Amino acid sequence: MKPIRIHEVGPRDGLQAEQSVVPTEVKLDWIRRAAGSGVDIVQVGSFVRSDKLPQMADTDELFRILGKESHRAVLSGLVLNEKGLERALAVGVQLICLGVSASETHSRKNTGMGTEDATRHIIAAALEAQKAGRQVQVSVQSAFGCGFEGPISEDRVMGIVTAYLEAGLRSISLADTAGHAHPAQVRRYVQQVLALDPAADITAHIHDTYSLGMANIYAAMEAGARSIETSFGGLGGCPFTKVAAGNVATEDLVHGLQRNGQRLDVDLAALIGVAKDVASHFGRELPGCVYKTGPIQAAGRIQ
C-alpha cells in the first residue's frame, strides 16, 4: 500500500449529530491536539446554517482563531453550496471539501437539491475554490448505499465521478454515508475510479454502521485509495441519513497502521488522549476500541 494520509473529521462529522453544543474553547483544544498529533488533515467544521446544525454555528470563528496559529496539519472545512463557499473563502480555509449525494432522497434532505442540480452547483463551486488558490476535494456521498433508498446504482456513482474528472477535479472522496458498504464493493469502486483516471487521488470516508468499517478501509487502501477519513473515538454520523452511526476511530486506524510499520510519525498516545476527553465530555462510551483497551506495546513503544 502507498503511504496513507489521515484526515481527522471528528470536529465536523463527529460532532454534527450531537444534541449538546460543544463550547468553542473545548473544540479548539481537541482540534489543536489532533492537529499536533501528526495526522495530515483536520476537518474543523462545516459551513451550514446554524438553525439546521447548531453544533457548526462557530465554524467561522474557529477558522478565524486557528488561522492565526501554526499547525502541523492542514485544516479543512465542508461546503455544501455557494454561500458556504463564500464563508470558507472569507476565513481562509486551506482545504475546501464539497460533496454531492448519489441518493436523491439524501441529497434533498441534506442540501435541499436533487443530485443533478447539486452536482452542477458543487462543480461550479469547486472550480471557483480552485481559482481562488485553495485545495479542493469533492465527494460522492451515499456512494455505497442509502438508508432511505437502499442500493445505489454503481453507474449513478460513477456518473458523478466522471463529471468531477471531466471538470478537472481529481481529488475525490467516496463516502459510505449510510455504512452500507462491504469490502468487495469498496475495492471495486476504488479500482473503477482509477480505471477512469489513474491520476485520481481517492479518499475513503467510511461509517461503521454494520461493523464493516475497518474491513472497508483496508479494502480501499489495498485498492489504491490514498487518504482515509476517520473520527476521534469513532464519534459521528450524518443527521440527515436514516440511521446515523459513527466513523471508524482515528486512533484505531493509526494503531493498525503502526502495527504494520506505517505512520509511525503519528503520536498515537495524543490521539487516545483526545478520544478519552471526548468520551468524558459527553459522559458516555464511544464506539472506538483502542482508547478503551489501550494499544499493543511492542519494543517499548506504542505500535
Mind telling me the catalytic residues? 238
Among positive and negative, which fits the CA dihedral 161, 163, 166, 169?
Answer: negative
Q: Which helix (H) or strand (E) holds 154?
A: helix 154-166
Specify the 3-state DSSP secondary structure of 12.
helix
102's grid cell: 448519489
Amino acid at 54: P
- The residue to which cell 435541499 is assigned: 112
Are 273 and 266 in contact, with CB atoms under 8 Å apart? Answer: no
Amino acid at 170: R
* CA distance readout (Å), 22 to 12, 27, 58, 63, 282: 11, 7, 10, 16, 9
Cβ-count burial 266-282 (b if 16+ within 10 Å, e if not): bebebbbbbbbbbbeeb
288's grid cell: 472506538
Number of neighbouring beta carbons within 10 Å of residue 289: 16
